[in-house]
């Protein structure tokens, strides 16, 4: 839901258009983009944070439901701290004490989560204006966002050129493709931070059924920093391998802990039996998750190239939203990978292309 309500009117417009979303307090124009397919789905984006602000579905009765959480004005995006729908970087998730060693040199980043570093620091990719343009040369509605992160931004080394391409196709698939290059060795771990609520209306996602294609997860300490241990999920509340597991089934045992719910990284099963799609260039995507809202019949399938997924149940959402009103499936590398040699590396070399693709497919089944 987009608080303010006016944004859903955009779903009645064309297949790909640009509009003025709002202006900042300083008078800077914030541009919006709407991608729409013939099936009644639309995705609405803004250039502040390369942010996904709405995924609208036109139901059979003609009503419009937004399946994400968002706002209808830039002031709320600039003051809210929950990263709603934005592109997160340079490094998504946590870095212990904001510190790591690179080529024998200690790098000290900003600490914006107590003594730790979270989601790129005080002014990450979510808090900047991106250049944006509609992709005219693609067969389906697409918008490309690009941004240069200067050498030393947030104390990260290297100039990093990054782009995010959002595409909505006729199969109701929303694709997010992240690309980046650097001129110095630097860690990079990008993700989108959309909060999903497939009901479109309810104030809780605890009745959603989640299946995660993951046999293990990364164990964390009291500050949600990985210890380095990768633990099997079997016999625990972290086991979402079977279909039909409700979010609310296991969350009660976590509510009194430091995370107040699910906020953990699962290791995606990147094995042949979980392969979902191979692109024409040979890029392989694996199934990450299947989420279902039984009462509406809405289903979302998530595929990605990334080795991990941070499943977060909105445990710290602030007004005007309610705790657990949305959930995130942040496809990414593992948290604090730069300090754990047994985790997949997040280091990007000069001359190397960072590429991360995630697809969300929306399906309508009979309500239960």
Q: Who's near 110: CB < 8 A, 6+ residues apart?
A: 98, 117, 121, 122, 154, 155
CB burial of 214-231 (b: ≥16 within 10 Å; e: otherwise) equals bbbbbebeeebbbeeebe
Which of these is catalytic: 178, 193, 264, 340?
193
Euclidean distance between CA atoms 103 and 105, whole angstroms? 6
Q: Single out the residue of 88, 164, 163 nearest to residue 119, CA to CA.
A: 88
Euclidean distance between CA atoms 163 and 198, whole angstroms? 28
Q: Single out the residue of 322, 339, 132 nearest to residue 227, CA to CA.
A: 339
Element (H, E) at 164: strand 160-168
Report phi then psi at 237, rounded to 5: -75, 0
- Annotation says 330 is catalytic: yes
3-state secondary structure of 111: coil
Euclidean distance between CA atoms 247 and 327, whole angstroms? 9
Euclidean distance between CA atoms 168 and 186, whole angstroms? 31
Euclidean distance between CA atoms 302 and 325, whole angstroms? 19
> Percent helix, strand and coil across the chain, each rounded to 5?
10, 45, 45
Peptide bond into 90 cis (omega under 30): yes
- As given in the structure block, the two tokens for residue 186 are 């630097």
Which of these is catalytic: 324, 330, 340, 356?
330
- As a whole number of Å, the end-to-end CA separation of the chain is 22
Q: Single out the residue of 126, 60, 55, 133 nearest to residue 92, CA to CA.
A: 126
Dihedral sign of CA atoms 360, 314, 153, 143 in order: positive
Q: Who's near 113: CB < 8 A, 6+ residues apart?
A: 94
- Annotation says 117 is catalytic: no
Helices (H) and strands (E) in the chain, counts: 2, 29
Catalytic residues: 193, 330
């Amino acid at each position: 839901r987009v608080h303010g309500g006016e944004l859903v009117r955009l779903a009645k417009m064309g297949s790909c258009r640009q509009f003025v979303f709002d202006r900042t307090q300083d008078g800077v124009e914030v541009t919006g983009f709407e991608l729409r397919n013939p099936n009644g789905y639309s995705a609405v984006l803004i250039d502040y944070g390369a942010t996904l602000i709405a995924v609208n579905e036109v139901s059979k009765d003609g009503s419009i439901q937004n399946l994400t959480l968002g706002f209808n004005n830039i002031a709320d995006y600039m003051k809210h701290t929950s990263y709603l729908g934005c592109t997160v970087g340079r490094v998504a998730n946590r870095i212990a004490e904001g510190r790591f060693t690179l080529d024998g040199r200690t790098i000290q980043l900003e600490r914006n989560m107590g003594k730790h570093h979270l989601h790129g620091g005080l002014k990450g990719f979510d808090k900047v204006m991106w250049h944006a343009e509609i992709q005219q040369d693609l067969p389906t509605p697409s918008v490309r966002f690009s941004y240069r992160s200067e050498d030393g931004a947030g104390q990260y080394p290297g100039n990093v050129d990054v782009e995010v391409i959002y595409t909505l196709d006729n199969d109701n698939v929303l694709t997010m493709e992240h690309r980046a290059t650097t001129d110095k060795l630097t860690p990079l771990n990008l993700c989108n931070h959309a909060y999903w609520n497939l009901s479109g209306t309810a104030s809780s996602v605890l009745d959603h059924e989640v299946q995660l294609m993951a046999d293990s997860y990364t164990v964390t300490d009291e500050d949600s920093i990985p210890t380095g241990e990768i633990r099997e999920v079997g016999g625990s509340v972290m086991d979402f391998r079977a279909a039909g597991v409700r979010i609310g089934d296991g969350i009660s045992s976590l509510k009194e802990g430091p995370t107040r719910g699910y906020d953990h990284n699962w290791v995606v099963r990147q094995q042949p039996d979980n392969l979902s799609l191979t692109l024409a260039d040979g890029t392989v995507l694996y199934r990450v998750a299947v989420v279902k809202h039984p009462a509406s019949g809405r289903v979302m399938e998530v595929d990605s190239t990334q080795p991990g997924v941070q499943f977060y149940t909105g445990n710290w959402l602030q007004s005007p939203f309610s705790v657990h009103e949305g959930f995130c499936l942040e496809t990414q590398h593992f948290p604090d990978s730069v300090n754990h040699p047994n985790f997949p590396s997040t280091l990007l070399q000069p001359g190397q292309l960072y590429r991360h693709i995630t697809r969300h497919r929306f399906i309508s089944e009979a309500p239960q």
